[in-house]
Amino acid sequence: MTSNTHSTPAGGDEQLRRVLGLPALVFFGLVYMVPLTIFTTYGIVTETTGGRTAGAYLVTLAAMLFTAASYGIMVKRYPVAGSAYSYTNIAFGPNVGFLAGWSLLLDYLFLPMINYLLIGLFLNIAFPAVPAWVFVLGSIALVTVLNVMGIRSVAKASNLIVGAQVIFIGVFVALSCNSLTSGPVDWLSPLIGDGSKPGFDPMMAGAAVLCLSFLGFDAVSTLAEETRDARRDVPRAIMLTTLAAGALFTLLAYLSQLVIPGSHFENTDAAANEVMLKVGGQFLANFFTAAYVAGSLGSALASQAAVSRIIYSMGRDKLLPERFFGSLSPRFGTPINATLLVSLVSLIALVINLETLASLISFGALVAFSAVNMAVLRTHLLGKAQDRNVLLHGLVPLVGLGLTLWLWTSLSSLTLSIGLGWFAIGVVYLLVLTGGFRRNVKVADFSEAG
């Protein structure tokens, strides 16, 4: 099997354009995750863990590295769009694949939404005379136009946004280190906490919420059909994105908790502002708002691009109305109808709260991560693969599966109830599609290069 051979779903003449290389994929993944995403749920997770957000990030990173390796294994063999949906379909058949795709839609549909919500929140703090909903609607319109224009527009915007955030991070780290020289510092406090939430269960609960920070490597896999050498570059981009982002998140959380020890804030959702004011005064708070809003726009760009391609993949497979969702724009070569649907769903950002939205995104992500780990076991260890490797194709996905299931059960009961309700709706829809499970749903043929 050569790295230059690409598998393409059969059954149609329309194909996504292969224009991306390794640097663009890594930037896409980092923007999708948002380098400053640590501040999205910083206050929530700090309170949940009793001041151990940095430690919670290390737990999440460990789980994500094993799962990222499983994504890399699958995409190397099957460089197709659709991510966990496509891989589960290949491993377990179209009906199970549909349910994995349905679960994946939960976090992918909501991730653009959380960015719009945060844009409205922080810009309203900076400009209180303008209602938050104005900023939400404006950002939805801008992101939709750029995504309709094509993946090159997303990639170019992503590069600029990552650059701006890198500059901010450099300033934040320098000012944080400077502020820590003024008095005694408890260097272990970000790892052991303030004692308000002892035990490992609060740490796991915080780590479960933080899974939404690592959706970038999963998003990279959705662009396999738009990558010039997907088998080589996508697995590399997945691991590089996960490692780089995980190290960065942990560092920023560690410094933030050194600056403001403890786990209590005046405004939990906007705890980042308190950190910035302590580190660098109003200047850094304003700089943070600008960089964070830019990053949220970039993440919305990337996340809307990813979910629209998942919907396109499901439409192409006739799991959703093919004529509407399974077609590309003749002018731009992008799934325009799917993109517009995501924009409409994102209007929920006007009414939902941050904590519920963050937890629901993590629920869908953990279900998808578990499915991909199981897909590796099925296709490589238990299937007819010729390159079977017990360590790589057995131990790695088993550890990844165990860790993701542990995180999944650490979510709140409300989150589990809503998430399982979404899954139940998917089962009912599948029941209709298959005539009471008397037949399989029809999907494209994902051929394996030999």
Using DSSP, state whether 412 is helix, strand or coil. Answer: coil
Q: Which of 58-72, 87-101, 166-180, 432-446 has the lowest mean pLDDT?
A: 432-446
Closest of 228, 241, 247 to residue 71, by C-alpha:
241
Closest of 251, 200, 208, 224 to residue 6, by C-alpha:
224
CA distance 298 to 304: 10
Residue where the block lists tokens 């490589």 = 380
The token pair at 214 is 């690592």
Using DSSP, state whether 170 is helix, strand or coil. Answer: helix
Residue 197 has pLDDT above 60, yes or no: yes
Task: Dump pLDDT digits (tens) for 320-347.
Answer: 888 888 878 777 777 888 889 999 999 9
Asked if residue 443 lies in contact with residue 8, where contact means CB atoms within 8 angstroms, the answer is no
Report the pLDDT averaged over residues 390-418.
88
| Cα 416 from chain centre | 19
Asked if residue 169 lies in contact with residue 244, where contact means CB atoms within 8 angstroms, the answer is no
Q: What is the rounded radius of gyration, in angstroms, for the C-alpha atoms of the chain?
A: 21
Given CA atoms 139, 335, 101, 424 in this order, what sign does their dihedral have? positive
Residue 387: how many CB atoms within 10 A of its CB? 10
Residue 342 region by backbone torsions, left for phi larger than 0, else alpha for psi between -120 and 50, else beta: alpha
Using DSSP, state whether 227 is helix, strand or coil. Answer: strand
Closest of 187, 293, 218 to residue 28, by C-alpha:
218
Across 19-28, 196-205, 218-227, the highest mean pLDDT is recorded for 196-205
The token pair at 22 is 């390794």
The token pair at 411 is 């979510």
The token pair at 114 is 């959380």
Closest of 307, 55, 66 to residue 193, by C-alpha:
55
Could you give the domains of the chain? 22-433 (1.20.1740.10)
pLDDT in the model for residue 11: 42
The token pair at 33 is 């995750």
Residue 435 has pLDDT above 60, yes or no: yes
Closest of 295, 275, 294 to residue 285, by C-alpha:
275
Task: Dump pLDDT digits (tens) for 50-85.
Answer: 999 999 999 999 989 999 999 888 888 777 665 677
Closest of 313, 267, 213, 212 to residue 8, by C-alpha:
313
CA 287 → CA 62, 168, 280, distances in Å?
A: 32, 7, 10
Write down the pTM of the prediction: 0.77
Going through 245-304 in order, the beta strands assigned E by DSSP cover none
Residue 51 makes CB contacts below 8 A (sequence gap 6+) with: 189, 190, 193, 194, 196, 197, 257, 261, 262, 263
Please provide the size of the chain in residues.
450
Residue 80 region by backbone torsions, left for phi larger than 0, else alpha for psi between -120 and 50, else beta: beta
pLDDT in the model for residue 50: 93
Residue 426: how many CB atoms within 10 A of its CB? 18
227 beta partners? 20
Q: Which of 74-78, 366-370, 396-400, 402-406 has the lowest mean pLDDT?
A: 74-78
pLDDT in the model for residue 211: 86
CA distance 83 to 434: 23
20 beta partners? 227
The token pair at 215 is 């959706």
As a whole-number percent, the residues of the chain with pLDDT over 90 amount to 25
Closest of 394, 354, 358 to residue 374, by C-alpha:
394
